């Protein structure tokens, strides 16, 4: 390490990972994340085909065995997506063709298009991410609840416009943060209400003449129901992604505001609170430095989320009804957004649970000139029964 001699505790791998960003990391192919979902969708689709008598039981057994083999390989990190084969769906099918022959593997894609297939894969991926955000949020909300009650009685200056305003308490601040995140959590629940639906059966968007069962595939994949309209999830591809991105971006806006407040309150000039060394990084030249990198990274991630949300908003906004290739890019945008933002919840929970509040300094700050003047004025209004405006003007002259 180029720094750390002045640190009581060094940041752990999770913190370093968070602050180093993408400097020395790279990402796997985007479709690699879809592979487990694609296998599941293939399993259920082929079971539906067999159930409907579109393929035979023997064919089903072969297909399922082939898919199981891909799953094993994937779990061992041995199923590599071949770029020449376009995407995850074609990679899986080509592998099956090699493994069990085209006479059987060639039937897997009956009554289906990659359009409804990728929408189903993505919907499963999005649902999992939505749940991850909800779990992370719940933990953070709990940590804020603890801080709220711990510091309920701790006097602290309340700020407006970055200027001292009135005497308040730190519990109110933590409580405000908690409430905003509870609202964010509701937005994730609402997302689930709207989008827990299965796109399968739409095929290219306009259905199929095979007698399929959309109820069966929806149920087996764990969706509440199939989409009401088969064209809807295909022509509106990217909408669930955008809605999730919106929820995440608002949540990040809240985290960013928390981050900035903690940065300022922990400036040595304020010293209202201290960030433990393990959430800071040092300098390659200045021996005394302990920088609030985790919090700064959260602010950067908020900006990145905003940019990705904007791109998601634009893609598919002016297309002719039906599938459009533009929408493939929604996959990269939402996955980047998730990668960038999801770890913020754990890190923020850990950091908030270990900040050291300097109660003495906060108390001291409450004695600053003028900080009690609003309260005094209100007492005066109550005592004399004079109009508020008149008392305020008199007070203002005294504050000059």
Query: 116 or 293: whose CB is closer to ligand ARG?
Result: 116
Which entry of 20, 149, 190, 283 is annotated as an active-site residue? 283
Q: Which of 96, 115, 81 is nearest to 46 (CA)?
A: 96
* Cα distance between residue 20 and residue 14, in whole Å: 10
Residue 369 half-sphere exposure, CB side, CA atoms within 13 Å?
Answer: 3
Among this protein's residues, is 26 annotated catalytic?
no
Q: Max Cα separation, the chain? A: 95
Stretch that binds ligand ARG, among 44-52, 112-120, 283-291, 294-302 (CB under 6 A): 112-120
Per CB under 6 A, does 109 bind ligand ARG?
no
Shortest distance (Å) from residue 130 CB to ligand ARG: 20
Query: 334 or 391: whose CB is closer to ligand ARG?
Result: 334
Query: 332 or 388: whose CB is closer to ligand ARG?
Result: 332
Stretch that binds ligand ARG, among 65-73, 111-119, 136-144, 264-272 (CB under 6 A): 111-119
* Cα distance between residue 278 and residue 59, in whole Å: 57
Q: What is the per-residue DSSP string for 308-369?
A: HHHHHHHTTSSPPSS--GGGHHHHHHHHHHHHHHTHHHHHHHHHHHH-EE-HHHHHHHTTST
* Cα distance between residue 81 and residue 90, in whole Å: 10
Q: For residue 6, what are the CA distances in angstroms to 10, 15, 288?
A: 10, 18, 7
Shortest distance (Å) from residue 34 CB to ligand ARG: 8
What SS3 state is found at 229? coil
What tokens appear for 391 in the block? 């008392």
Shortest distance (Å) from residue 191 CB to ligand ARG: 21
Could you tell me if residue 210 is left (phi over 0), alpha (psi between -120 and 50 degrees) or otherwise beta? beta
Stretch that binds ligand ARG, among 43-51, 113-121, 209-217, 249-257 (CB under 6 A): 113-121
Asked if residue 9 lies in contact with residue 287, where contact means CB atoms within 8 angstroms, the answer is no
Query: 34 or 258: whose CB is closer to ligand ARG?
Result: 34
Among this protein's residues, is 256 annotated catalytic?
no
Stretch that binds ligand ARG, among 110-118, 190-198, 224-232, 240-248 (CB under 6 A): 110-118
Query: 19 or 115: whose CB is closer to ligand ARG?
Result: 115
Query: 302 or 327: whose CB is closer to ligand ARG?
Result: 327
Per CB under 6 A, does 311 bind ligand ARG?
no
Shortest distance (Å) from residue 87 CB to ligand ARG: 4
The residues, any chain, with a CB within 8 Å of residue 215's CB and separated by 6 or more, are 225, 226
Asked if residue 319 lies in contact with residue 326, where contact means CB atoms within 8 angstroms, the answer is yes
Query: 127 or 350: whose CB is closer to ligand ARG?
Result: 127
Which entry of 26, 161, 209, 288 is annotated as an active-site residue? 161
Task: Describe the chain by its helix, strand, coil percentages, rounded to 5.
Answer: 65, 5, 30
Shortest distance (Å) from residue 118 CB to ligand ARG: 4
Q: Residue 288: what are its φ and ψ, rounded to 5°? A: -90, -10
* Cα distance between residue 36 and residue 68, in whole Å: 11
The residues, any chain, with a CB within 8 Å of residue 34's CB and separated by 6 or more, are 88, 118, 121, 122, 125
Query: 125 or 323: whose CB is closer to ligand ARG?
Result: 323
Stretch that binds ligand ARG, among 114-122, 136-144, 310-318, 352-360 (CB under 6 A): 114-122
Site for ligand ARG in 313-342 (CB under 6 A): 323, 328, 331
Q: Which of 114, 119, 148 is nearest to 357 (CA)?
A: 148
User: Contacting ligand ARG (CB under 6 A), which of 42, 115, 123, 256?
Assistant: 115
Shortest distance (Å) from residue 216 CB to ligand ARG: 23
* Cα distance between residue 120 and residue 221, in whole Å: 9
Site string for ligand ARG, 58-87 (x = CB under 6 A): -----------------------------x
Per CB under 6 A, does 114 bind ligand ARG?
yes
Shortest distance (Å) from residue 246 CB to ligand ARG: 21
Catalytic residue positions, numbered: 161, 283
Binding residues vs ligand ARG (CB under 6 A): 87, 114-115, 118, 323, 328, 331
């Amino acid at each position: 390490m180029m720094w750390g001699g002045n640190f009581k505790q060094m940041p752990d791998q999770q913190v370093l990972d968070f602050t180093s960003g993408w400097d020395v990391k790279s990402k796997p192919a985007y479709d690699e994340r879809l592979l487990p979902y694609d296998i599941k969708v293939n399993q259920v689709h082929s079971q539906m085909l067999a159930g409907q008598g579109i393929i035979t039981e023997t064919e089903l057994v072969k297909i399922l065995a082939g898919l199981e083999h891909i799953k094993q390989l994937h779990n061992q990190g041995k199923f590599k997506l071949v770029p020449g084969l376009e995407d995850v769906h074609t990679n899986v099918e080509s592998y099956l063709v090699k493994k069990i022959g085209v006479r059987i593997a060639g039937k897997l894609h009956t009554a289906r298009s990659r359009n409804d297939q990728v929408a189903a894969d993505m919907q499963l991926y999005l649902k999992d991410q939505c749940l991850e955000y909800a779990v992370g949020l719940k933990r953070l909300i709990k940590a804020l609840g603890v801080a709220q009650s711990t510091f309920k009685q701790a006097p602290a200056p309340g700020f407006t416009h970055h200027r001292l305003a009135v005497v308040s308490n730190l519990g109110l601040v933590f409580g405000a943060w908690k409430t905003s995140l509870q609202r964010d959590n509701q937005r994730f629940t609402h997302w689930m209400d709207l989008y827990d639906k299965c796109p399968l059966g739409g095929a290219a968007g306009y259905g199929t003449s095979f007698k399929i069962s959309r109820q069966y595939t929806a149920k087996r994949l764990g969706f509440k129901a199939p989409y009401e309209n088969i064209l809807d999830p295909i022509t509106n591809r990217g909408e669930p992604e955008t809605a999730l991105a919106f929820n995440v971006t608002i949540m990040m806006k809240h985290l960013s505001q928390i981050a900035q407040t903690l940065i300022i309150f922990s400036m040595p000039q304020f010293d209202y609170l201290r960030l433990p060394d393990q959430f800071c990084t040092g300098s390659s030249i200045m021996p005394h430095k302990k920088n609030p990198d985790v919090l700064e990274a959260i602010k950067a991630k908020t900006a990145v989320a905003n940019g990705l949300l904007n791109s998601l908003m634009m893609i598919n906004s002016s297309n002719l009804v039906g599938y459009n290739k533009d929408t493939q890019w929604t996959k990269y945008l939402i996955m980047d957004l998730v990668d960038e933002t999801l770890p913020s919840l754990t890190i923020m929970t850990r950091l908030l649970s270990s900040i050291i509040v300097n109660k003495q300094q906060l108390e001291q700050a409450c004695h600053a000139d003028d900080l009690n003047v609003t309260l005094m004025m209100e007492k005066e209004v109550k005592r004399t029964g004079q109009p508020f405006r008149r008392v305020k003007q008199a007070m203002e002259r005294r504050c000059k």
